[in-house]
Amino acid sequence: MSKFIMVGCDLHDKSMLLKMAVDRGKASMRSWGTDLASRKAMVVDLKRRAAEAGAGRIVFAYEACGFGFRLHDELKLAGIECFLLAPSKMVRSVKHRRRKTDERDAQAILDHLRSYLLAGVELPSVWIPDVQTRDDREVVRQRLATAEDGSAIKTRIRWLLKRSGVESSSAGGWTCEYRCRLYDLAEKGLPGGAGQALGSLRRHLDWLEVEMDRLDGQVLALSRTDRYKRPVAALRRHKGVGVLTAMVYLTEMGDLSRFGNRRQVASFLGLVPSSYETGQDADHKGHITHQGPQRVRKVLCQAVWSRLRCEESERVSYERLVARNPKHKKIAVVARMRTLAIVLWHSGLAAQQAAQAEAAPAVA
């Protein structure tokens, strides 16, 4: 049996702590920086260690983080196997959480890797999207982030007016009349620093809205490419689902064929209830797990409320669920979100497969 060099990496913004071992041998430790030169030197060092140990494979693992997939891609190009582990699936004891160090974290990752390679224990790894999907996510995520920034600015404006004793409610929406009132207040209604702050917030909001329109155009153009045109059209056939909702769903979910059934879809999106069962104690169901992409849950929630306003069958299903538990209407909303997520999965999967079938002869 060929030897393995297994590497558990605790990755941070400016440093990497590696715990390395050959098969069941004793682990050694080494630290590296995260700059390009350090990463290249790390690859050279790992290959040297593999040659000295006579190991046929180098297997590297680290937890998914803000560093993204760049390190994974570089290691793969260098011929090193690499896994990204889901932090939410890394089971840690209370003792570990109270004595958390970089060395212990790297050792825990190495232990998971050893269990997987030497004993066949399932590895809590994440799916690695292709480069195009990652790139497409950037513009869609930026559109959502810009909208969140705009909402935050509106909240700051409302609180500034309250602190200044101005009775100016936006309950009717941010209409042209309300915006004109803000302009007047910023110019001559509020004296001193309050007026200057309101003017700054107003200009910031104006810029964000212009930027949001620009990003909407970019998302729309992306949705019309060959990669997304058919799936987006399939998803938009369902009421309440617009271009942005469809693009968020498709880019965050990625290849829909990787899900085998509806339970996997709901579990990935965190729309399944948590559970607790031990011994004779019955299985208790709690709040949903909230695992997976929060962005998809957000647009699904918005789509459900839109469907409740415009689709009779959706409203009937919602009211039937509410009747079971009138004090917890959110449960009914989450149930409809899960149903919509599964419906979109079926529609999107069929569209993706049809698009791939059309593209196959052209590639051949």
Kindly report the CATH number assigned to the domain that includes residue 94.
Answer: 3.30.420.40
pLDDT of residue 295: 95
pLDDT of residue 189: 76
CA–CA gap between residue 305 and residue 315 (Å, rounded): 9
| 270: amino acid identity, one letter | G
Average pLDDT over residues 240-245: 96
**pLDDT band at 351, cuts 50/70/90?**
very high
CA–CA gap between residue 248 and residue 139 (Å, rounded): 10
Residues 101, 63 within the same domain: yes
User: Of 119, 146, 162, which residue constitutes the final position of a domain?
Assistant: 119
Cβ count within 10 A of residue 306: 16
User: Of 58, 89, 119, which residue constitutes the final position of a domain?
Assistant: 119
**pLDDT higher than threshold 60 for residue 170:** yes
**pLDDT higher than threshold 80 for residue 360:** no
pLDDT tens digits for range 247-257: 999 999 999 99
Q: Is the pTM of this model over 0.95?
A: no
**DSSP three-state, residue 362:** helix
Helix (H) or strand (E) holding 55: strand 55-63
pLDDT of residue 362: 52
Residues 241, 269 within the same domain: yes
CA–CA gap between residue 203 and residue 198 (Å, rounded): 9
pLDDT of residue 176: 85
Residues 252, 218 within the same domain: no
- Domain of 107 in residue numbering reads as 3-119
**pLDDT higher than threshold 60 for residue 364:** no
105 belongs to a structural domain: yes
CA distance from start to end of the chain: 39
pLDDT of residue 185: 86
Residues 271, 203 within the same domain: no
